[in-house]
Structure 1
Amino acid sequence: MEQRKNILLVVAAISLLGLTPLTWAAQTPPNWESCGGTFIKAESDEILDPTPSGPIDVTAYQAEAEKEGISTFIGDVKLRRRGQWLDADKAFYDKQNKTIRALGDAHYQDAMLDITSDSTKVNLDTDVGEAENARYFLRDYHARGKADGVKRQGSTKTELKEATFTTCNVGDNAWRLEAGKVDLNHETGVGFARNARLRLGNIPVLYLPFIRFPIDDRRKSGFLAPSGGRSTNSGASIGIPYYWNIAPNRDATITPRYFSERGFMLGGQFRYLNRSNQGQVRGTFLPMDEKAHKTRGAFSWQHTGSPWPRWFTNVDINQVSDNRYFEDFSNSLSMASTVALSSEADISYQGNGWNAIGRAQEFQSIDPTIPDAFLPYRRLPQFLVDGFFPDRFLGLDVRVHGEAVNFQKINAVGGTRVDLWPTVSLPLRTGGTYFTPSIGVRDTQYFLTNTSDAVTPTSTFLSRTLPIFNIDTGATFERQLSLGGGGFRQTLEPRAYYLYVPYQDQKNFPVFDTAPLDNYFASLFQPNSFTGADRMNDANQVTLALTSRLLESATGTERFRASVGAIDFFHKRRITLPDVLDDSVTGSVIVSEMAAQLTKEWSLLGEYRFNPSHDQTDLSSAGVRYRGENGALMNINYRYRRSVLQQIDVSGRYPIANHWNVVGRWYEDIRNHRLLEMLGGLEYDSCCWAIRVVGRSYITNIEGQRNTSILVQLELKGLGNIGQKVDTILRRSVPGYGPPVYQ
């Protein structure tokens, strides 16, 4: 009886701020296992059995047992049953009525709670009982509280008087919930609380004379905790969400929000979960933006499903009212560098070793500096087939790639492209070596429309058929090392990759979705130096590369990896994209990369690309990462790409006192002399509560306009959040940020 009473009190307490179980469960739960404090642990593993069973054993200094009447136990009374323990100064057992009454420091324990009361009475058959002056601890939930009186009417109703709830350690009353009276109806899953108060310290900050709330996982409609903030783009804002429990598998959240500089906005989210599909619909509507003087809004629909075995569907629709919507209403720095918003719908089939996808995709410009003519082509529709069939006739591996897609764009060349690329290979392996020759044929056909809009006049039908031959070979050498008293295994892995593709003129081919492939290490072993099918490089070249790893002998953990490689071209490449000069000669850039886990806390990453033809660096990046056991973290990243970018990104969290941390990020565009994002603040984070105050300034568009805001979040652990989602912003801006380790 006591166990159920306290579990329901937790749910009741959560609901006093209007939080529904769905909203609560969607938050990141506190890491209670890492919490310290004086919360009571189980005295025996037998107590932790979640299903009480077996006979009741009773011991006491003095016992007066009666066969049919009331048995009395006095002095250090111990009632033991697997999954339930009860200790008291005195206990009475009425065998005829099946009741137990414990007096004088009655102490009850089970798998979920530890409770002490002045007196406890319970009917073992009907589960009807009562307790006075009860004080409880919840083991898994790190919660505690008290109730002056508890009355329970079996499994249907429970009444609590002057009940409290908190997740703070004993002696720390940073916050607590109080309720004068709580009525719980277990049949309907609804509770009613009267005179509910929230206190921060000893200061009451919220009073609700009456509130209705859920007491189990049956979700209930109601208002959620409000959120607000201030920014230079929209001024002060406040939103009060309302949760609507439509059905067990459907719900909605409706959020009226007011911006002091823009007016009222209505936002909403609808979620559904069916047997074969799930998804959500989100939208916002601002009838009249007082700052922009127009109607604003956004709509999105995400859906995934499996209507039949092996069949899958995916829908991701996104639309906004105008190309500056995200500048004004998004708090994401990444949106500043995004020029197009994608909407697509897919249906796919997964076969045995092969899969097929049908897709429709279009784009909306969200960058006012980019005209619609520079948007990606719409794919209406696109069909893809990929298959891999290993160890076929004579040990051959067979790969097949096929695509048929119709490209559309206003005032531009469009049409259908059909691309088929079968490949067969013969993998030959011995101990530590491999040799894999492959041969394939790529056939691409174009059926074009609007050719009069082309910069260079072209035919309505174009085709390209090219053989592709490559050999991929390599070896792995190993040796044992002893470093720092530990055993390691070092590998040396040379690799050679030869590629031959004859030349075929493609300068009249349109460019629908093709771009140069970036020169990263893995791309050295790709048969095509372009993404997409509009260009197929000519090649007579060999890639030479070397990788070395350092692995722990006992665990196989990789502690260090370094790779270097380059392509040697036997003739100059001739296939290019329009308006792109081919400056390659007889050698490619030298590509290298490195990763090291120096210690448990420190790790390094690096990449370097050198162009020997021009004796210059094309790209370099370096990163240092620190993860301390006390929650400290640091990220330092430098990125450079010739003629494109040069950036430094420093972020971290540093503990300055017990539970107190400084957080920040400095993200600078060195090349253009501008600060992309600056973030700094202070947080207090404990098992009981957390507060985060952060100042943030970041670029909102490619033109360099900024948004500056002060963000505040108060989190009552196990209860909910008040204010803005500062922790979400910190996770996005500070890699590695998460719940600290509580001391």
Structure 2
Amino acid sequence: MRFPPRDLTRRPPHCPPPLTRLVALVALACVQMAVQAQEAAPAGESVENAPATLLPTQRLQESLSPAQRESAPMFLLGERISGRPDLETVVEGQAELRKPGTVIKADRLEYNAPDDQAKATGNVRINRGGNVFEGPQLELKLEAFEGFFLQPRYQFLQGDAHGDASRADFVDASTTVVHDATYTTCRRKPGPGWMPDWVLKAANITFDSDEDVGIAHGAYLNFKGVPILPVPAISFPLSDKRKSGLLPPTVGFDNVNGAELSVPYYWNIAPNRDATLTPTVMAARGADLGAEFRYLEPTYAGVLRANYMPSDKLRSADRWGATVNQTGTYDTGLQGIGNVSYLLNLNRVSDDNYWRDFTRSSGSLTQRLLPNNASVGWTEGPVALTASVLQWQTLQDPTAPIVPPYDRVPQLTARYTQTNQGGFDWSLEGDFTQFQADRSLTLQPNAQRVYGLAQVSRPWVGAAGFVVPKLQLHTAAYQFDNPIANGNRSADSTVPTFSLDAGLVFERDASYFGRALVQTLEPRAFYVRTPYHNQSLLPNYDTAANDFNFASIYTENAFGGHDKISDNNLLTLGVTTRLLDADTGVQLARFGVAQRFRFEEQQVTLTPSTATAQPGFSDVLFGAAVNVNERWALDSTVQYNPRTDKSERSTIGTRYSPSNYRVVNLAYRFQRDVSEQVDVSWQWPLNDLWGDRGQDLGAGRGMGEGRYYAVGRMNYSMDERRLVDTLLGVEYDAGCWLARVVVGRVQTSTSSATESIKFELEFVGFTRLGVSPLQTLKSNISRYQNLREVGGTNSRFSNYD
């Protein structure tokens, strides 16, 4: 260990004259600078005229290795210094002790070298890696970092947490125990009468910086001067690092469960594995136990979820649900085969009413069609092979029954693709599927189907446009377990298709509203010819009509799936114009129009009762998307019938978001003779109403203390004249704590709905109490922003002394 010399008789160039303080650190630094500058100066050039050079330094490293700490010197400085070298040193008046990662300041400081012990009195301040303690007296063994601090006030680097205690015991470099302690993240305000809005008071608190966790014993949480949560022992995070322990309890109420209480337990099993156990008591139903296990391995990852409720009072039965989801790769060890990928997705529940009675379960279990599938795939160059099994669990509602989809047990698919082979793109695809379902529900036989698709195209693509002719051949063969309408147990169909897709791209410089733009004009023509083949006797296993939009209007088949191939003789014409920023190329606006002209009647339909598409012009599609700036966005599509001079379907959506935490989304959806709805959602500071615009602190930090935010979503059916789904709430940001109240109503059938209220208190950097509505707000409000998002880890130089 090195100490500054007692007398420096020679002063190097550029070193300031001696001051009253004995600053040995400055003297040593000056000597080093002079030597390095002399070595770096070119021959014949004086040090004074030498150019400035940047030298590498270790001083700004976020963390130092043990070897660096061991070899680094320690510096003592102050107004008066006395003692014996390598024994004891006494510094008085603005005393400082510095070593890598630790700074101690005091009125008086004693250091005993043989014991490596420092004693500091009077306005003591110690900064250890950005964590600061202040008080009247400190005794500390520096290397082991063992000692005590009397009546300390402390502030931690992560989370801006602070507090005070009667005594702090430093157990080691990572563990500190404070007694008769307080802990809060409320920012201290001027004035002797300041009290934090919330504070944790405890007999003792252990802070573990390695695990970033605090453990309090004999504690209670005080909010606005009222004790609200007495706990014999509680652990809480000091950062966003995962840790095992009880999570904050949640309390909720709705018209199905009644009052409910959940106390989750989180188990941090390993860096790549964790589990959460969630016991819940529902006043109207009983007890429910939920569990989730997550894992991330080098070759696979997944999540397992399950819950079990014995003797549910609502249905007088045991209820359960389970989900397994895993993806990964498997090394076969076979030459030329290598790895295969696989997927496992299982979703099962106990009964048909599960989807409406457990609305807070995982999203996969709140649907009426629950997929259960497993697949294995292999890809090597142009070859792709897949084998899969898919079975559905259909949750039926007697008031609104649904026809279940067919199980695929199994499905085998092979595909071979080649691109730019002599200018040609071509592919071959084959599929074998066995379809199986309850005959009483589907009213058509089960079957085995072999399907094939061959296609070849010759694209000509350039900067000014493209031309792509394509030939396709679809073929399918069926084997039924019962005769179809003509008495046969087998059937087949082969249909060829020719298409020609062509377009041009024109550009010109433009200027609108004083802004330099590039405007494009992109006409496009798409012709498709598929001859008619009678497919009326073929059952339908996986085919549905394509939606009429800008994506499907330029496709060959009017159906999606492999059972029906529509006969077509039609030409689609369209034009799109775009406005692009001349400097960045960002699209500011897009306007398009497209229409089909059918030369012949389309005779192939999904069902015999479906009307055929007649010759002549189709409805006209109009589309527009506008993003003039970051505040406004508009996206709309209108399907217009020129024969009736009416809109058949319209979708218009707009978003206004002038800044963080200010967003309004509005959507209008109309389909003639089907539905007409208006959907509006928002997040907006209520303080704007009385002229308080707040501060732009950035995403995840709110807009300042003492602010209210309105949040919500309303979906109104104009033809039914009623609200379908409703979500209304208020958020309050007090700086170190947040409050949220959200009430919701979700329609579960034509005659029933689930109503709920969610209330949450979030003590920033400590814990949450209540039922969190955050996931509900994020899924219902586009561009919703949480008032507090976990940020990155602070640097120790944030509290640098």
TM-score for the superposition, normalised by structure 2: 0.80
1:525 is paired with a residue whose SS is coil
Q: 1:102 to 1:390 in 2, by over 3 A?
A: farther
* One-letter amino acid matched to 2:90: T
Is residue 2:314 matched to residue 1:280? no
In structure 2, what is the equivalent of residue 727 of structure 1?
774
Match of 1:618 among 648, 663, 673: 648
| Correspondences of 1:205-284 after superposition (within 5 Å) | 205-210=228-233, 222-244=245-267, 250-284=273-307
- Structure 2 distance, partners of 1:66, 1:401, is 89
Contact 2:390 2:409 in 1 (8 A): yes
Equivalent residue number for residue 661 of structure 2: 631
Q: 1:521 aligns with which of 536, 547, 550?
A: 550
8 A Cα contact 1:310 1:351, kept in partner: no
Q: Secondary structure at the match of 1:524?
A: coil
String of CA shifts for 1:626-681, please: whole Å, max 9, x gaps: 22325121111110112222111111122123421122221112222331112212
1:50-65 to 2 correspondences below 5 Å: 50-51=63-64, 54-64=72-82
How far the C-alpha of 1:420 sits from its partner, in A, is 1.5
- After superposition, the Cα gap between the structure-2 partners of 1:636 and 1:419, relative to the gap in structure 1 and judged at 3 Å, is same
Q: Closer, same or farther in 2 for the Cα pair 1:189/1:669, shift >3 Å?
A: closer
Q: Structure 2 CA distance, aligned partners of 1:597 and 1:284?
A: 45
Does residue 175 of the first structure (1) align with residue 198 of the second (2)?
Answer: yes
CA deviation digits over 1:77-119, x for unaligned, max 9?
3445565544333333333333333333233446543443333
Classify 1:65/1:529 alpha carbon distance in 2 versus 1 (closer, same or farther; 3 Å).
Answer: farther
Residues 124, 324 of structure 1: CA spacing in aligned structure 2 closer, same or farther, 3 A cutoff? same
Deviation at 1:310, TM superposition (A): 4.1
- Contact 2:650/2:671 (CA < 8 Å) preserved in 1? yes
Q: What residue number does 1:14 align with?
A: none
Once the two structures are superposed, the pairs formed by residues 379-418 of structure 1 within 5 Å of their partners are: 379-392=408-421, 394-411=422-439, 412-418=444-450
1:98 and 2:116 correspond: yes
Distance in 2 (alpha carbons) for counterparts of 1:593 and 1:605: 8
Query: How far has the Cα of 1:72 moved from its partner?
Result: 2.4
Q: 2:219 aligns with which of 170, 173, 196?
A: 196
Structure 1 window deviating more from structure 2 (597-606 vs 246-255): it is 246-255
Q: Which residue of 2 aligns with 1:541?
A: 570
**SS at the partner of 1:275?**
coil
Q: Is the 8 A contact 1:340 1:367 kept in 2?
A: no
Q: In the superposition, relative to structure 1, how do residues 178 and 307 fare at CA in structure 2: closer, same or farther (>3 Å)?
A: farther
What SS does the aligned partner of 2:552 have? helix
Deviation at 1:506, TM superposition (A): 0.8
Higher Cα Rg, which structure: 2
Name 2:593's counterpart in structure 1: 564
Query: CA shift at 1:246, angstroms?
Result: 5.9
SS at match of 1:683: strand
TM superposition shift of 1:291: 3.0
Could you give the per-residue CA deviations for residues 222-277 of structure 1, whole angstroms, max 9, x where no partner exists?
44322221111232222233445666655443333222222233333233443322
Q: Tell me the distance in 2 between the aligned counterparts of 1:182 and 1:741.
A: 25
Q: Match of 2:553, SS? A: helix
Residue 724 of structure 2 corresponds to 676
What's 2:756 paired with? 709
Q: Of the two structures, which has the highest relative contact order with CA contacts closer than 8 Å and spacing of 6 or more?
A: 1
Q: CA distance change for structure 1 residues 481 and 112 in 2, over 3 Å: closer, same or farther? A: farther
Q: Matched residues in 1 for 2:135 and 2:583: separation?
A: 54
Counterpart CA distance in 1 for 2:323 and 2:718 is 36
| Distance in 1 separating the partners of 2:736 and 2:623 | 44
Q: C-alpha offsets along residues 284-333 of structure 1, whole Å, 9 cap, x if unaligned?
A: 22322323333322222222222236422222211222222221220599
Indicate how the Cα distance of structure 1 residues 490 and 151 shifts in structure 2: closer, same or farther if over 3 A, else same.
same
Aligned residues of 2:473 and 2:496 also touching (Cα < 8 A): yes
The residue identity in structure 2 corresponding to 1:692 is R
Count of matched residue positions in the alignment of Structure 1 and Structure 2: 694
- 5+ residue gaps, structure 1, are 1-43
Please identify, of 422-431 and 85-94, the stretch whose mean Cα deviation from structure 2 is larger.
85-94
Aligned position for 1:582: 612
CA drift of 1:48 comes to 7.0
Decide whether the 8 Å contact of 1:333 with 1:699 is kept in 2: no
Give the Å deviation of 1:737.
Answer: 1.4
- CA 1:593–1:333 in 2, change beyond 3 Å: closer, same or farther? farther
SS of the residue corresponding to residue 588 of structure 1 reads strand
Whether 1:642 aligns to 2:665 is no
Q: Deviations over 1:336-366 (max 9, x none)?
A: 9954222222222233244332221122222
- Kindly indicate whether the alpha-carbon contact (under 8 Å) linking 2:600 and 2:614 is maintained by their aligned counterparts in 1: no
Structure 1: distance between partners of 2:137 and 2:356:
62
2:330 is aligned with 1:307: yes
AA in 2 matched with 1:640:
F
Q: Could you tell me which amino acid in structure 2 is paired with residue 633 of structure 1?
A: V
- Tell me the amino acid that sits aligned with residue 517 of structure 1: N
Please give the alpha-carbon distance, in whole angstroms, between the structure 1 residues aligned to 2:628 and 2:127. Answer: 47
* Per-residue deviation, 1:535: 0.6
Amino acid at match of 2:450: V
- Deviation at 1:698? 2.1
In the TM superposition, what are the counterparts of 1:271-420 in structure 2 within 5 Å?
271-308=294-331, 310-331=339-360, 339-369=368-398, 374-392=403-421, 394-411=422-439, 412-420=444-452
1:423 aligns with 455
Give me the whole-angstrom Cα distance separating, in 2, the residues matched to 1:685 and 1:499.
Answer: 59
Q: What's the CA shift string for 1:460-516, capped at 9, x where partnerless? A: 222222222222221221122233333221111111122122221111111001110
Q: 2:473 aligns to what?
A: 441
Task: Write the distance in 2 (CA, Å) between the matches of 1:354 and 1:604.
Answer: 42
Pair 1:277–1:511, CA change in 2 (3 A): same
Per the TM alignment, residue 536 of structure 1 is displaced from its structure 2 partner at its CA by: 0.8
Structure-2 residue corresponding to 1:659? 707
Structure 2 letter corresponding to 1:631: Y
Q: Alpha-carbon deviations, 1:58-93, whole Å to 9, x = none?
A: 442233353222222222334455655443333333
2:659 aligned counterpart, secondary structure: coil
CA contact (8 A) 1:47 1:83 kept: no
8 Å contact kept, 2:774–2:786? no
User: Separation in 1 of the partners of 2:578 and 2:58?
Assistant: 46
Of 179, 204, 207 in structure 2, the residue corresponding to residue 161 of structure 1 is 179
Quote how far apart the aligned CAs of 1:604 are: 1.0
* Contact kept? 1:598, 1:604, Cα under 8 Å: no
Deviates further, 672-681 or 523-532: 672-681
Distance 2:663 2:209 in 1: 46
2:213 and 2:490 mapped to 1: Cα distance? 69
> Structure 1 stretch 328-337 or stretch 424-433: which is displaced more?
328-337
Distance 1:278 1:546, change over 3 A: same
Matches of 1:333 and 1:671 in 2, distance apart? 32
Question: So what's the TM-score if we normalise by structure 1?
Answer: 0.86
Cα separation, 2, equivalents of 1:170 and 1:48: 30
Structure 1 match to 2:737: 689
Letter in 1 for 2:254: S
In the TM superposition, residue 585 of structure 1 has moved relative to its aligned partner by 2.5
